[in-house]
Structure 1
C-alpha cells in the first residue's frame, strides 16, 4: 500500500516538476528518512566514525536538494504553482516509499517471504487508484508493453530487500537509490528537460547527493 501511494504520486510529480528535478528531490528525501530510521530505530550506527560520516552524508544530501530546488532564470518551464504543488506531492510520495522500505525490517520479514504478498498489494492499490482516474489508459496496448519494466522492477525490488537485510536499511536502501543518476541524466539528455543554467544546478546537486551516498557506504 505504501509503495502504491508513493509510486503514483512520484509519477504525478514528473508532470509537475519534470523527471530530472523530481527524482533527485524524491530520492534525497527517501535517503534522509531511511537513514534516520536506520540510526534511531534500528540502531545501525554505533561508533563515532559512523556518526561523523553519517552526519556529513545527510548534510551533503540536504545541500544537494537545495541546489536542485533553487529556481533560476532557466526554470521558466515550471510555474511557481506547479513547483510548490510538485514539492508537496514529492514529499508525500517520499513518505510512502520510506514506509515501504522500513516496515519489512520493523516486522523482521525477509525479502523472499514478503515478495508475493507485497506484489499482490501493489497491484490492488495501483489498480484501485487508476480505476478512479478519468480516461485512464490502463487496458491499452501501450500500457501493457510496460510489463517489461515491471519485471525489471521485480528483480530490483528483491535485491534491494535482500540488501536491506544484509547491510541494514541506512546502507542498503541508500545504495539502491543511485538509480537517480540514470533518471536525472535521462531527463536532461533524452527528454530535453531544463535547458541552460539548470543543467549545472542539477548536475551539482546530483553529485552532492551521490557524495552523501558514498559517505553512507563508509559507515558500514
Structure 2
C-alpha cells in the first residue's frame, strides 16, 4: 500500500501541467487555480488530521508558500514559451541541482570525497539529460532559447527556498501536516497578490480562473501524499518515485497537448529523460 501512496505524488505533479495546459488561460489564472485547489486539499487535510502548529511557524510557512508561487508563475510562463515537454525536464534539473548545492553548502549534506564524487557525477548526468531533451532539428527555430532558459532558472529560486525551508531548525519540531495548510494558503495569497499588483484583477471574472482549480487539487493531493510516502518509505525512496512526474509531464505534453517533436528529437528526449531519472536516483546514494 505504501508504494501505491508513493506513486500519487508522481502522478499528481505530472498531471498538473497537463491539466492547466488543457484548461488554458493566463499564468495568472493558472497560479490562482493551483493556490485555490491546493488550499481546498489543505483545509480538508487539516480538518481530518487536526495537527498542531505554532503561530510563528504558520506565518513562516505561508511566506515560503508565497515564494513558491513566484517559481510556479515562472514555470507557467515557460510552458507557453517553450512547451511543457521542454520546460519540465529543464525545471526538474534546475531544482535538483539547486537543492543539491544548497544541501551541500548550507546543510552539510554529501559529506566526504566519495559522496561528493557520486553526487556531482549524478548532477552531471542530469545536466546532460536536460540538454538532450532540448535538442531541435531546426537550429534557430528552437523555443528553448538562452533568454527563456535564464528566465526559468531565475524563477526557480522560489522552488529552492520552498524545498529548503522544512530543513530549517525553526521548523524542526513542527509536524508536516501542521505546516501543509499554511504552505498552500501562502501559494493562494501569493497568486492573489500577483494578480493585483500586475494589473490582472480582471482574471477573477474569467472562467479559466476557476477551471484551473482542478490542477491545484491534483498538485495538493500529490503534495499531501508525499508527506506520508516519505514517512513510510523514507525521503530517499519517496524521492525516487516522485521523479516519475517528469516522465508523465514530458510525454503527456507531447501526447495530450500535442507538442510536436520529430523522430530525431524524440530519440534525444527519450534518452535525456532516462538520464535525468538515472541521475536523480543516483544523487540519493551520495
Q: Give the alignment's TM-score, normalised by structure 1.
A: 0.82
Shift of 1:218: 3.3
Shift of 1:114: 1.3
Equivalent residues, number: 215
Task: Say if 2:159 is the partner of 1:97.
Answer: yes
Distance (whole Å) between structure 2 residues aligned to residue 142 and residue 124 of structure 1: 18
Distance (whole Å) between structure 2 residues aligned to residue 34 and residue 174 of structure 1: 15
SS in 2 for 1:205: helix
The 5 A counterparts of 1:63-74 are 63-73=128-138
- Which of 170, 185, 201 does residue 268 from structure 2 map onto? 201
Distance (whole Å) between structure 2 residues aligned to residue 30 and residue 184 of structure 1: 16
Task: Say if 2:186 is the partner of 1:148.
Answer: no
Summarize the Cα distance change of 1:47–1:104 in structure 2 as closer, same or farther, 3 Å threshold: same
Deviations 1:50-92 (A, max 9, x none): 33432221111111122223443277363xxx72332122102
The 5 A counterparts of 1:1-220 are 1-46=66-111, 49-73=114-138, 76=141, 78=143, 83-106=145-168, 107=170, 108=172, 109-131=174-196, 132-134=198-200, 137-160=203-226, 167=234, 175-196=241-262, 197-219=264-286
Deviations 1:129-182 (A, max 9, x none): 1233448544433432332322221222234456678855x8765653431111
Preserved CA contact (<8 Å) 1:175 1:213: no
Summarize the Cα distance change of 1:135–1:42 in structure 2 as closer, same or farther, 3 Å threshold: closer
Which segment drifts farther, 99-108 or 1-10?
99-108
Summarize the Cα distance change of 1:18–1:90 in structure 2 as closer, same or farther, 3 Å threshold: same
RMSD: 2.8
SS in 2 for 1:9: helix
Distance (whole Å) between structure 1 residues aligned to residue 145 and residue 244 of structure 2: 24
**Unpaired segments ≥5 residues, structure 1:** none
Distance (whole Å) between structure 1 residues aligned to residue 178 and residue 75 of structure 2: 26
Preserved CA contact (<8 Å) 2:135 2:265: no
**Unpaired segments ≥5 residues, structure 2:** 1-65
SS in 2 for 1:120: helix
Preserved CA contact (<8 Å) 1:10 1:89: no
Distance (whole Å) between structure 1 residues aligned to residue 140 and residue 216 of structure 2: 32
